[in-house]
């Protein structure tokens, strides 16, 4: 199901629930209830709870956004380091050069086709991917330079493989969801409290009040969806974060 469709359904459902409860509540109470009887303290408490929840939502959005950017930076660093290996290895002997490029390509293909779905579903790297990267490291580090020119390129190549390995490790650490379950409990509970406080203000069935109640509940549903979407640092599909690999190793 498309993420946009999920968002639309969530927002529509939130609006429908709030508006339905409002209409049914007014029918039950009838015309005898006076909205002006709402104590001032309830209005102040409603505003305070709304402000606190808005701050919590803002911090949650900032947290998942920062985590996603950091996670996707690790993908860019890993892909760029491997690309540098394939380019700089041209100074090696033809046999060593071709073997290294072949192993890098095999690693990239494995990451895109097999490892990345595992990362999205289970939040961890695979042993096979680690073995393929170690093979690239062995190709580079076991080579014996034949002259000074190759010697000058040897250490930078080793450093690039090390950078790719470090980025891969960071990618594995960032693979899981950003928000723990207790935070989600607080966010969803806070949303229910904020929406529930609407009914303490004794809103009526006027178009203006119904519109404001619907927009308020839809906005909360949208922000919760935004947090859920960003809570997966590498997105929800392989194509969401593998752009650097696809761009640098498209051929």
Asked, for residue 78, whether it belongs to a domain, the answer is yes
- Rounded Cα distance between 145 and 153, Å, is 9
Asked, for residue 183, whether it belongs to a domain, the answer is no
Question: Which residues, 6+ apart, have CB-to-CB distance to 105 below 8 Å?
Answer: 86, 249
Asked, for residue 207, whether it belongs to a domain, the answer is no
Threshold 0.85, pTM exceeds = no
Asked, for residue 44, whether it belongs to a domain, the answer is no
- Which residue has better confidence, 249 or 131? 131
Q: How many CB atoms are located within 10 Å of the residue 140 CB?
A: 23
Range of the domain at 96: 73-178+238-251
Domain total of the chain: 1
Asked, for residue 190, whether it belongs to a domain, the answer is no
Asked, for residue 138, whether it belongs to a domain, the answer is yes
Of the chain, the percentage scoring pLDDT greater than 90 comes to 37
What is the average pLDDT across 219-242?
87
pLDDT in tens, 91-131: 888 899 999 999 999 999 999 999 999 988 888 899 999 99
Asked, for residue 111, whether it belongs to a domain, the answer is yes
pLDDT in tens, 26-85: 666 555 555 555 556 667 777 888 888 999 999 999 999 999 999 999 999 999 999 999
- Rounded Cα distance between 169 and 191, Å, is 36
Angle at 70 between CA 122 and CA 101, to 5 degrees: 75
Asked, for residue 147, whether it belongs to a domain, the answer is yes
């Amino acid at each position: 199901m498309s993420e946009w469709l999920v968002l639309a359904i969530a927002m529509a459902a939130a609006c429908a629930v709030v508006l339905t409860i409002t209409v049914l509540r007014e029918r039950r109470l009838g015309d005898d209830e006076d909205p002006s009887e709402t104590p001032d303290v309830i209005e102040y408490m409603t505003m305070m709870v709304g402000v606190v929840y808005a701050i919590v939502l803002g911090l949650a959005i900032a947290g998942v956004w920062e985590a996603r950017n950091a996670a996707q930076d690790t993908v860019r660093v890993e892909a760029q380091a491997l690309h540098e290996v394939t380019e700089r290895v041209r100074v090696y002997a033809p046999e060593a050069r071709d073997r290294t490029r072949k192993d890098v390509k095999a690693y990239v293909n494995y990451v895109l086709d097999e490892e990345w779905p595992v990362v999205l579903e289970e939040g961890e790297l695979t042993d096979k991917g680690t073995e393929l990267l170690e093979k690239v490291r062995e190709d580079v580090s076991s080579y014996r330079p034949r002259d000074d020119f190759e010697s000058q390129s040897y250490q930078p190549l080793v450093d690039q493989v090390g950078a790719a390995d470090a980025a891969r490790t960071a990618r594995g650490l960032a693979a899981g969801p950003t928000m723990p379950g207790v935070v989600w409990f607080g966010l969803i509970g806070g949303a229910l409290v904020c929406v529930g406080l609407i009914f303490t203000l004794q809103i009526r069935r006027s178009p203006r009040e119904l519109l404001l109640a619907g927009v308020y509940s839809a906005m909360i549903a949208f922000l919760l969806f935004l947090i859920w979407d960003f809570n997966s640092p590498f997105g929800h599909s392989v194509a969401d974060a593998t752009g650097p690999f696809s761009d640098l190793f498209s051929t």
